Amino acid sequence: MSSSDSSFTSASLPAHIAIIMDGNNRWAKQRHLPGLAGHKAGVHSVRQTIEACVELGVEVLTLFAFSSENWKRPEKEVSGLMDLFLLSLDREVKKLHRHGIRLRIIGDRSRFSEKLQKRMHDAELLTANNTRLVLNVAANYGGRWDIVESAKKLTQACLLGKIQLDDIDEVCFNNFTSLADLPAPDLCIRTGGEQRISNFLIWQMAYTELYFCDCYWPDFGKADLQKAIECYSSRQRRFGKTSDQIEA
């Protein structure tokens, strides 16, 4: 699937795609493998999805890698996920940089090891000036956390006199969120058959089109992404207006 054979126009292509990469554990369980094997297999799907987004001309891709609730999982799995995250940063960041992809990591980093935090910082620094695709990885992230952190920053700005109470509106509040400088997600894909957003970008996804598919994340490929975009492009996004207004 290359940009030359894509039927998507700039109007029908989502500028920002968000993905909840679900089903890794169930994929592994079906194959009588430990849960971590599913997460390792899912790295291939991440590569495929990034490649497809670059080929199509998608501007922003946000992946839900590790939620703030995932710490509740078995200690062995969490430890394995941290090791996999570190390994992936070591192996993949230079490739991302070569292909002009900017990596940003959103979420509360304070619970990660100093070593992992440094890798995150170095990866962001290396790719900071790349413009071909913005890749956001949500790690120890929660939508409610994002809103609370934004409220804290906004309150601090008010206390310092930088913002007046009457200045606060949705645009002002959004300026303090994790993805403030990026367009809101146009399309959110969730794999694994579940139909909920699980505390992911809940401020940003007020008008996002949702797409749910049954395949587990390690089985998700370029054809699946194209199918999701085709479904998205067939929908009419009204943002509170009527169909007649949009058509006019």
**Quick check: 221 pLDDT over 50?**
yes
Residues facing residue 103 across a β-bridge = 135
Q: What is the residue-wise DSSP string for 88-151?
A: HHHHHHHHHHHTTEEEEEES-GGGS-HHHHHHHHHHHHHHTT--SEEEEEEEEE-HHHHHHHHH
Domain 11-141+184-235 annotated CATH 3.40.1180.10: yes
Confidence (pLDDT) at 195: 97
Q: What tens digit of pLDDT does each residue of 111-136 get?
A: 999 999 999 999 999 999 999 999 99
- pLDDT tens figures, 185-206: 999 999 999 999 999 999 999 9
Verify whether residue 70 is a known catalytic residue: yes
pLDDT of residue 246: 64
Contacts of 110 (CB under 8 A, 6+ apart): none
- Select which of 5, 24, 70, 224 is catalytic: 70
Structural domain boundaries of the chain?
A: 11-141+184-235
Contact 27, 216 (CB under 8 A): yes
pLDDT in tens, 159-174: 999 999 999 999 999 9
